[in-house]
Amino acid sequence: MVASPLSLTFIGTCSGGGPSASRNCTATALNLGNGQSWLIDCAEATQHKMLQFKSPLPSKVKRVFITHMHVDHVSGLVPLMSTIMFPLAYSGPPDTIRLQVYGPAGLRSFVRNNLKAMFLQLGGKYEVNELLSVDDVPTTNAPEELHESEAPGRDFYAGDDGTWPAFERTPDGWCISAGPLVHRAPCVGYIFNEPPIPRAVSPEYLARLNTIPLHLLPPGVLQPRHLLGHLQAEGAVTLADGVVLEPPPRTRGRKVVVLGDTCDASGCAEMAYGADALVHEATNAHVERAGKPSAVKNHEQVERKAIGRGHSTPRMAGDFARRINARGLVMNHFSSRFGAVPMHGHGRMAQERADFMSQLTAQAMRAFGSPNVIAAEDGFVLDIPVPEEEERWRPIPSGHAEGPVVREADVSGGDATVLGNEVHGTIMRVETPM
CATH of the domain at 305: 3.60.15.10
224 in the same domain as 179: no
131 in the same domain as 111: yes
From the list 143, 81, 89, the residue with the least C-alpha distance to 111 is: 81
CB 18 within 8 A of CB 25: yes
315 in the same domain as 376: yes
Domain of residue 207 covers 200-246
Structural domain count of the chain: 2
- CB contact set of 239 (below 8 Å; sequence gap of 6+): 212, 216, 217, 218, 245
289 in the same domain as 170: yes
In a domain, 2, yes or no: no
369 in the same domain as 277: yes
CB 262 within 8 A of CB 310: yes
How many other β-carbons are positioned within 10 Å of the β-carbon of residue 366? 13
In a domain, 149, yes or no: yes
In a domain, 191, yes or no: yes
| Cα pseudo-dihedral 415, 58, 71, 180, rounded to 10 | -90
Whole-number pLDDT of residue 67: 99
The single-letter DSSP state of residue 200 is P
Residue-wise pLDDT for 346-370, tens only, equals 677 778 888 889 999 999 999 999 9
pTM of the model: 0.85
Whole-number pLDDT of residue 292: 60
How many other β-carbons are positioned within 10 Å of the β-carbon of residue 213? 10
List, in sequence order, every residue forming a beta bridge with 127; answer none if it has no partner.
100, 151
Low-confidence ranges of the chain (pLDDT < 50): 1, 389-434
Domain finish residue from 246, 280, 311: 246
79 in the same domain as 22: yes
List, in sequence order, every residue forming a beta bridge with 103; answer none if it has no partner.
130
**Sign, Cα dihedral of 319, 7, 106, 20:** positive
User: Residue type for 86, please?
Assistant: F
Burial label, 257 (beta-carbon count in 10 A; 0-12, 13-18, 19+): buried
| Per-chain mean pLDDT for the chain | 86
State the Rg of the chain over Cα. 23
In a domain, 354, yes or no: yes
